[in-house]
Amino acid sequence: MTVDTIIRAKDLVEEMQADRMGVGSVWEYTNTMSRKLLFAVFPLDQFCDIHESPYVDRPVRIWKDGLWIGKYKFMNEVE
């Protein structure tokens, strides 16, 4: 699922975890058509096709093994 803010991505991850749905990965990327920064959340049981998607530029993984990583690692402390 694609969302437009990191807050919505965080809320989606928390909702998925509450529903006992595993989160496989979360990515930050630029949409090549709109040039907007977007976030893609992939459930654990869904194939991550971020690198094959035609409108994705510069994807950066920001969630791995149950934790926010990179510049978003501070969110592991935020409730």
For the chain, what are the domain ranges?
2-76
The predicted-structure confidence for 46-60, as pLDDT tens digits, reads as follows 999 999 999 999 999
The predicted-structure confidence for 12-24, as pLDDT tens digits, reads as follows 999 999 999 899 9
The predicted-structure confidence for 33-42, as pLDDT tens digits, reads as follows 999 999 999 9
pLDDT band at 79 (very low <50, low <70, confident <90, very high): low
User: What DSSP assignment string belongs to 1-42?
Assistant: -EESSHHHHHHHHHHHHHTTPPEEEEEEEEETTT--EEEEEE
Residue 35's pLDDT is 97
Residue 75's pLDDT is 94
What are the CA-CA distances from residue 37 to residues 17, 59, 78 (Å)?
Answer: 24, 10, 22
Q: Is residue 38 a contact partner of residue 29, using CB atoms and an 8 Å limit?
A: yes
The count of other CB atoms within 10 Å of the CB of residue 1 is: 12
